[in-house]
C-alpha cells in the first residue's frame, strides 16, 4: 500500500510539472544511428527484394529480451546475441511468409554474414500486442530505430511519446490510451493523421463541474501534442480526443454508434482494464442495443417530418441521422459492428446489395444521396437548402426507412437460413471426405456402421445427423425456425469435433509401423515418427523430440511434418528417447 498522501484528479489540474528529458521517454530510447549506417546495405537488399515492406527497424538492445521470450527462442539462439530486426509487411502478404518471404530473407541474411534475427510481422500482429496487453512490446516497436518506414513507425512513435507524457502527468487517472482511425485500419500513409483517444477516470471528482474538468484536461493533453511531435520528429498530425470515463460509459450504455466504432477499431497502447473488456464484450456480441433500442433507432426516420418543418439545414441533418442510425441498427442485426459514417455506403452495398441481395440499388442511391448532403454541409459546401429540395429528400428518406423495416424481417429469416446451410455443409462435407461423395442417407448409414456400432463415437449423434439431413428441404420451404437452428447448432459442434478427431486418428493409422502407443501412470499418448523427427501427442499437448528431450511444439508443425512424410519412417527407440519418456511418464508401456 502506498503511504503517500492520497491525491485526486483535481490536484493534477495545475500547470507545470517535472521536466522529462527525451532520453527518459520510453518511445525515444532508440538504437544508435550507427546501426542505420551499419545495416544500410542489408536494408537496401531486403527492400529491393521485397518492395512492399512497410517498415524495417532495429529493436533496442534493452528490449530484445521481450521478443526472445515472446517468440520462444532457444538458449542456443539467444546466446548468439543476434541483433533483432523488426520487419512489417502488408497483411495480404502474410500467406507468402513460409514459402516465399522467409526462405529468401534467410538467404539474404546468410549472404550478408550479419548476426541478426528478423521478426516478420504484419500490422495486425503489431496491434495484437496491444490487444493482448503487451504494452511493453508496443513501446519496443515504437522505440525501434527505423531503417525503412512508410509511415507506420513514425505514427506509432509520436502516439507512444504522447501517451508517455500524459501518463507522467496524470499517473493512475489514465484509464486507457487508444490509437485508432486509418492507422489501425491499414489505410494510412506517411502523412496521415494519427487518431488517438484518452479516457480519464473522473469518478473521484466531486467539486469541479464535468464540463470545466474536461476543458482543463483537453488543454493539458493538447499541449503535450507539440512536445510529442518535437520528440518524434515526424510530419504526422496527432489528433487526440479526450473522454471522461463517466461520459464514455453513458455512451456505451446508449449504444452510441461513434463509440461502437471507436471500441471496434481501437487498439490500446495502455489500459487499466477499462477498454479491453469492452472490446472483448463487443466482439462477443454482448454489447449491443436491446430490441427496443433497435426499434428506437429505426424510428428516427418516422420523426423526420415534424423536425423538417421547424428548420431547413438542421432538418437535413435530422434526415441524415434518421437514415444512417437505423441502417447501423440493421448492420448490427446482421452481426457486424455499426460502420463509420464515411464507409457506411460501401459497407451497406457489400453486405445488403452484393452479398445478401436484399436491398435494391434504388435504396442504396437514397442512402448515398443523404450521406452526400451531410458531407457537403460538413465540408462547408452546402450552406442552405430549398424547401422543395428538402421535401423530396424527406419523402425519399421515408421510403428508405419503410424499406428497412421490410429488410429487417428478410434479414432475420436469411440469417437463420444461412446458419442452417453452413451447419449442413460443414457436417456433410466432412462425411463425404470420410466415406466418399454419396447420398445423405448412405453417408448416415456409413457413419452409424463405421463409428457408432464400432464404439468409436456416441449413438446420441444419430438423431442430430438425421435432423441435419432434413435441413435442405426445410430451407426450401422456409420452415426453419430460429429456436430449431440454435438447438441443431449446439449439438452439431460436438458432432463436428468427434468426426475431425476420428479423421485424424484414421490418417495416423495409415502410417503403420511409425506409431507407438504409450500408456503411462497418469496419461496416455502416441509417438509418431515423421521426416521431421519424432512427435509426442498427449491430450492437447504436441511435443517434438530433439535427440535429448521433448520440447513444446504445435499441431500446425506436426500436420506440416505429416504432409511432408510421403513414406513411413521407422520409429527407433533410442536410449535418449527412453530417458525422455521416463522423465515425462515415469513407468510406462509401449505398444504398436
pLDDT digits (tens, 9 = 90+) for 384-411: 788 888 888 889 989 889 888 888 877 7
Helix H, strand E, coil C: the string for 371-414 is: HHHHHHHHCCCCCCCCHHHHHHHHHHHHHHHHHHHHHHHHHHHH
Question: In degrees, to the nearest 5, what angle opens at C-alpha 360 toward C-alphas 354 and 365?
Answer: 100
CATH 1.20.120 residue spans of the chain: 291-404
Among the ranges given (317-321, 417-421, 508-512, 517-521), the one the predictor scored with the smallest mean pLDDT: 508-512
**pLDDT class of 206 with cuts at 50, 70, 90:** low
Query: Sign of the CA dihedral 270, 271, 275, 276?
Result: positive
227-274 residue pLDDT tens: 888 888 887 888 888 888 888 888 777 767 778 888 888 999 999 988
489-511 average pLDDT score: 67
Residue 21's pLDDT is: 39
The residue written with cell numbers 454508434 in the block is: 257
The strand ranges marked E within 28-81 are 55-58
479-489 average pLDDT score: 72
Residue 516 to residue 570: CA distance in whole angstroms? 11
Greatest pairwise CA separation for the chain in angstroms? 92
Residue 342's pLDDT is: 80
387 contacts 310 by C-beta, under 8 angstroms: no
Residue 163's pLDDT is: 92
- Measured in degrees and rounded to the nearest 5, phi and psi for residue 121 equal -130, 165
363 contacts 400 by C-beta, under 8 angstroms: yes
109-125 residue pLDDT tens: 999 998 999 999 999 99
Angle between helices 387-435 and 461-469 (to 10 degrees): 130
Residue 236 to residue 190: CA distance in whole angstroms? 7
Residue 293's pLDDT is: 54
Residue 130's pLDDT is: 93
Q: pTM of the entire structure?
A: 0.48
Residue 17's pLDDT is: 41
42 Cβ contact partners less than 8 Å away, ≥ 6 residues apart: 108, 109, 112, 114, 116
**Average pLDDT value over all residues in the chain:** 81
Flag whether pLDDT at 51 surpasses 90.
yes
Percentage of residues in the chain having pLDDT higher than 90? 22
Question: In degrees, to the nearest 5, what angle opens at C-alpha 7 toward C-alphas 6 and 12?
Answer: 165
427-447 residue pLDDT tens: 888 888 788 888 888 888 888
Long-range pairs, 529-535, Cβ under 8 A, ≥24: 529/568, 529/569, 529/570, 529/571, 529/572, 530/558, 530/561, 530/562, 530/564, 530/565, 530/569, 531/561, 531/564, 531/565, 531/569, 532/557, 532/560, 532/561, 532/564, 532/565, 533/561, 534/571, 534/577, 535/561
| Stated length of the chain | 592
Residue 587 to residue 522: CA distance in whole angstroms? 9
The residue written with cell numbers 509417438 in the block is: 527
140-157 average pLDDT score: 91
CATH 3.30.460.10 residue spans of the chain: 151-287
Residue 43's pLDDT is: 92
413-422 residue pLDDT tens: 777 777 778 8
> Is domain 291-404 in CATH 1.20.120, yes or no?
yes
Residue 562's pLDDT is: 86
> Is domain 151-287 in CATH 3.40.50.720, yes or no?
no
Residue 9's pLDDT is: 56
Residue 207's pLDDT is: 62
Flag whether pLDDT at 357 surpasses 70.
yes
105 contacts 46 by C-beta, under 8 angstroms: yes
- Measured in degrees and rounded to the nearest 5, phi and psi for residue 181 equal 70, -155
Residue 345 to residue 369: CA distance in whole angstroms? 10
Residue 124's pLDDT is: 93
Residue 19's pLDDT is: 35
CATH class of domain segment(s) 24-150: alpha beta
Residue 289's pLDDT is: 60
Closest CA to 50 of 92, 94, 104, 122: 104
163 contacts 199 by C-beta, under 8 angstroms: no
261-309 residue pLDDT tens: 888 889 999 999 889 998 888 888 777 665 655 666 667 666 655 554 5
Residue 194 to residue 27: CA distance in whole angstroms? 16
Residue 507's pLDDT is: 53
Amino acid at each position: 500500500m502506498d503511504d503517500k498522501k492520497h491525491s485526486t484528479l483535481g490536484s493534477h489540474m495545475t500547470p507545470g510539472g517535472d521536466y522529462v528529458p527525451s532520453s527518459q521517454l520510453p518511445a525515444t530510447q532508440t538504437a544508435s544511428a550507427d546501426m542505420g549506417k551499419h545495416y544500410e546495405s542489408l536494408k537496401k537488399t531486403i527492400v529491393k527484394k521485397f518492395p512492399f515492406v512497410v517498415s524495417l527497424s532495429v529493436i533496442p538492445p534493452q528490449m530484445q529480451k521481450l521478443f526472445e521470450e515472446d517468440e520462444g527462442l532457444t538458449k542456443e539462439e539467444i546466446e548468439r546475441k543476434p541483433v533483432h530486426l523488426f520487419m512489417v509487411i502488408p497483411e495480404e502478404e502474410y500467406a507468402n511468409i513460409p514459402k516465399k518471404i522467409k526462405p529468401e530473407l534467410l538467404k539474404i541474411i546468410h549472404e550478408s554474414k550479419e548476426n541478426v534475427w528478423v521478426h516478420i510481422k504484419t500490422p495486425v500482429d503489431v496491434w495484437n500486442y496491444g490487444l493482448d496487453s503487451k504494452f511493453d512490446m508496443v513501446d519496443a516497436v515504437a522505440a525501434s530505430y527505423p531503417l525503412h518506414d512508410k509511415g507506420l513507425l513514425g505514427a506509432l512513435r509520436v502516439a507512444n511519446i504522447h501517451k508517455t507524457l500524459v501518463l507522467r502527468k496524470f499517473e493512475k487517472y489514465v484509464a486507457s490510451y487508444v490509437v485508432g482511425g486509418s492507422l489501425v485500419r491499414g489505410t494510412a500513409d506517411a502523412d496521415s493523421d494519427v487518431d488517438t483517444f484518452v479516457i480519464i477516470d473522473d469518478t473521484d471528482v466531486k467539486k469541479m463541474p464535468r464540463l470545466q474538468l474536461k476543458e482543463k484536461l483537453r488543454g493539458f493533453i493538447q499541449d503535450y501534442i507539440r512536445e510529442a511531435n518535437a520528440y518524434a520528429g515526424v510530419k504526422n498530425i496527432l489528433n487526440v480526443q479526450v473522454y471522461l470515463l463517466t461520459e464514455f460509459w453513458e455512451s456505451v450504455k446508449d449504444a452510441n454508434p461513434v463509440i461502437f466504432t471507436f471500441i471496434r477499431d481501437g487498439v490500446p497502447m495502455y489500459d487499466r482494464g477499462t477498454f479491453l473488456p469492452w472490446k472483448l464484450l463487443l466482439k462477443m456480441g454482448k454489447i449491443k442495443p436491446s430490441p427496443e433500442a433497435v426499434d428506437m433507432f429505426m424510428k428516427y426516420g418516422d420523426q423526420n417530418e415534424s423536425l423538417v418543418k421547424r428548420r431547413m439545414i438542421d432538418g437535413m441533418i435530422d434526415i441524415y441521422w434518421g437514415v444512417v442510425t437505423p441502417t447501423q441498427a440493421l448492420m448490427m442485426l446482421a452481426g457486424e459492428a455499426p460502420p463509420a459514417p464515411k464507409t457506411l455506403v460501401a459497407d451497406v452495398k457489400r453486405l445488403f446489395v452484393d452479398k445478401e441481395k436484399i436491398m435494391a440499388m434504388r435504396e442504396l442511391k437514397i442512402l448515398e444521396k443523404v450521406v452526400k448532403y451531410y458531407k457537403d454541409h460538413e465540408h462547408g459546401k452546402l450552406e442552405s437548402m430549398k424547401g422543395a429540395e428538402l421535401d423530396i429528400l424527406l419523402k425519399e428518406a421515408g421510403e428508405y426507412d419503410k424499406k428497412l423495416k421490410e429488410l429487417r424481417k428478410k434479414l432475420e429469416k436469411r440469417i437463420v437460413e444461412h446458419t442452417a446451410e453452413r451447419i449442413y455443409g460443414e457436417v456433410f462435407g466432412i462425411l463425404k471426405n470420410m466415406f466418399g461423395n454419396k447420398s445423405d442417407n448412405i453417408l448416415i448409414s456409413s457413419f452409424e456402421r463405421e463409428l457408432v456400432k464400432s464404439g468409436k463415437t456416441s449413438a446420441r449423434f444419430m438423431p442430430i445427423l438425421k435432423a441435419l439431413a432434413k435441413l435442405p428441404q426445410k430451407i426450401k420451404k422456409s420452415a426453419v425456425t430460429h429456436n430449431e437452428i440454435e438447438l441443431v447448432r449446439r449439438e452439431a459442434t460436438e458432432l463436428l469435433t468427434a468426426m475431425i478427431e476420428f479423421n485424424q486418428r484414421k490418417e495416423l493409422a495409415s502410417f503403420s509401423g511409425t506409431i507407438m502407443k504409450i500408456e503411462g501412470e497418469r496419461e496416455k499418448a502416441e509417438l509418431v515418427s515423421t521426416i521431421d523427427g519424432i512427435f509426442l501427442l498427449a491430450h492437447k499437448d504436441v511435443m517434438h523430440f530433439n535427440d535429448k528431450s521433448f520440447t513444446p511444439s504445435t499441431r500446425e508443425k506436426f500436420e506440416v511434418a505429416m504432409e511432408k512424410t510421403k513414406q513411413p519412417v521407422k520409429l527407433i527407440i533410442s536410449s535418449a528417447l527412453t530417458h525422455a519418456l521416463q522423465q515425462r511418464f515415469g513407468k510406462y508401456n509401449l505398444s504398436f
